[in-house]
Amino acid sequence: MKYLGILIAALILSACASHTVNNGGVTIMSEDAYDSAIDKWSDHVEDYSGLNNTVTIMATLLVPEAVLAQVDQNARLFQWDQVNYDNEKKKAENAMATKTEAFISFYSPERKWDDLYKSKTLWKVFLDVNGQRYEGTVSKIKLLPREIQKLYSYHTPFATPYMISFPVAATAVGNGPARLIFTGAVGSISLHFGAKK
């Protein structure tokens, strides 16, 4: 019986540690829980030709778990009240019903290879999930590195931030496993997410 009481106390403390209340009075996940959710849906690859780094790609697949974690992180950063929080959460849920996004932190010492956003890019980007392949639409993110690092701590000022959108509901992708593929004249790189990461 003594051990049961200790176990219950430990469970209560761990549940409290995964949530906090922001300055707007909204209950949100803790920063540690946020970092864990993003880390779970992130992967990175460093590609080399001999001893020379050709490309480094770090990515987070924005499935429901990661997106809702980001809503909580933004609620912390911008001190949203409950109304703002509910509105932003609803917007995120609506967007996930029609698309899946991936944040990409892309670095290459060859600047001409860092052209994902151009219409005549060297790369094609695909998302493979549930036996289907979806081609991505890339946009360059125009925020300061510090702003981006609040959501993706692995991003550095040396890398270029991109958002890639795929025409498949994030709710269908979030059950994993999924694979993000960068392919073209430079080479072929795969990042893995979910159950078989």
Encode pLDDT of 173-190 as tens digits: 977 799 999 998 888 999
Chain centroid to Cα 74, Å, comes to 14
Tell me, what's the pLDDT at 7? 39
Instruction: Report percent pLDDT > 70 for the chain.
Output: 90
Residue 12 has pLDDT above 70, yes or no: no
59, 136 contact by CB (below 8 A): no
132, 178 contact by CB (below 8 A): no
Whole-angstrom distance, CA of residue 182 vs CA of residue 192: 12
Tell me, what's the pLDDT at 48? 83
* pTM of the entire predicted model: 0.86
**For 155-182, what is the mean pLDDT?**
93
- Per-residue pLDDT band for 37 (boundaries 50, 70, 90) equals very high
Q: Which residues contact 191 (CB under 8 A, 6 or more apart)?
A: 43, 44, 45, 57, 59, 179, 180, 181
Instruction: Report percent pLDDT > 90 for the chain.
Output: 68
For the stretch 92-137, pLDDT in tens is 999 999 999 999 999 998 888 899 988 888 899 999 998 999 999 9
Tell me, what's the pLDDT at 17? 62
